[in-house]
């Protein structure tokens, strides 16, 4: 269960705005990778018990999603399109999203805790550290994991309605048996990651039609007017 241990150490050292950063959707065959950055206050409400988003039920994730947005000092979400993932690779797209999310925090972060073992390039003088399995260790990272997961799940539900043949609402783009069968039957959709090759699937190149839902640079908060009800800041 995550706690505020590392954040408390940093607050005592004089850092005022400690951000947690995490992503959702690095592994799927389709859809964007979503990155979130969150700054929590020292007086976080005790009744909002945070945890790694993967260990939460969808209902609890949704409740905590609302709580994080309501009580965080700052939060930002970035949606990195499949086209970008194919162009620069999934790792670089994720790191770029992390850097963009942190850069847009207001107030600005003076220390950043990042889930995993790689750090994004952050503008000085911001300091950062990577924490393996950080979403299960640090509350700030857990909060970011919840925002990223809920936003991505909502996006994939929209894609499920737009492209019903592939069943995105059910598997969220992950390589389930049903998803692989749909790929074999239909080939890739416009939101599949063409750089993620799948054995025995019809992976022929077709036109990519990334529209507003997959436009990374504009798919954040109030700028993303095409996504009512998914999230806003």
Tell me the pLDDT tens digit for each residue of 82-139: 999 999 999 999 999 999 999 999 999 999 999 999 999 999 899 999 999 999 999 9
Query: How many whole angstroms separate alpha carbon 214 and alpha carbon 147?
Result: 18
Is residue 54 classed exposed, middle or buried when 0-12, 13-18 and 19+ CB atoms within 10 A define those classes? exposed
Is a pLDDT exceeding 70 seen at residue 223?
Answer: no
* CATH class for the region spanning 5-161: alpha beta
Contact residues for 92 (Cβ-Cβ < 8 A; gap 6+): none
Domain ranges, ordered by start, for the chain: 5-161
Is a pLDDT exceeding 90 seen at residue 147? yes
Tokens 């990042």 label which residue? 114
Would the pLDDT of 207 be above 70?
no
Mean pLDDT, residues 133-155 taken together: 97
Please identify which residue in the block is written with the tokens 């790689």: 118
Question: Does residue 125 have a cis peptide bond before it, meaning omega lies within 30 degrees of 0?
Answer: yes
pLDDT bracket for residue 165 (50, 70, 90): very high
């Amino acid at each position: 269960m995550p706690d505020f241990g590392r954040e408390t150490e940093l607050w005592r050292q004089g850092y005022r705005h400690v951000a947690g950063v995490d992503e959702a959707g690095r592994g799927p065959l389709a859809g964007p990778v979503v990155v979130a950055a969150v700054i929590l206050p020292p007086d976080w409400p005790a009744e909002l018990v945070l945890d790694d988003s993967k260990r939460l039920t969808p209902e609890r994730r949704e409740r905590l999603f609302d709580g994080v947005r309501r009580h965080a000092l700052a939060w930002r979400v970035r949606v990195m399109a499949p086209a970008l993932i194919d162009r620069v690779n999934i790792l670089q797209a994720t790191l770029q999203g992390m850097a963009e999310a942190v850069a847009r925090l207001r107030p600005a972060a003076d220390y950043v805790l990042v889930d995993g073992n790689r750090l994004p390039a952050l503008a000085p003088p911001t300091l950062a550290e990577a924490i393996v399995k950080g979403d299960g260790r640090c509350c700030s990272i857990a909060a970011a994991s919840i925002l990223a997961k809920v936003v991505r799940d909502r996006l994939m539900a929209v894609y499920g309605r737009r492209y019903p043949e592939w069943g995105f609402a059910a598997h969220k783009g992950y390589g389930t048996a049903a998803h692989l069968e749909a790929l074999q039957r239909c080939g890739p959709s416009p939101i599949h990651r063409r750089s993620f090759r799948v054995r025995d699937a019809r992976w022929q190149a077709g036109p990519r039609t990334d529209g507003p839902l997959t436009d990374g640079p504009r798919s954040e908060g109030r700028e993303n007017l095409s996504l009512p009800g998914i999230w806003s800041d």
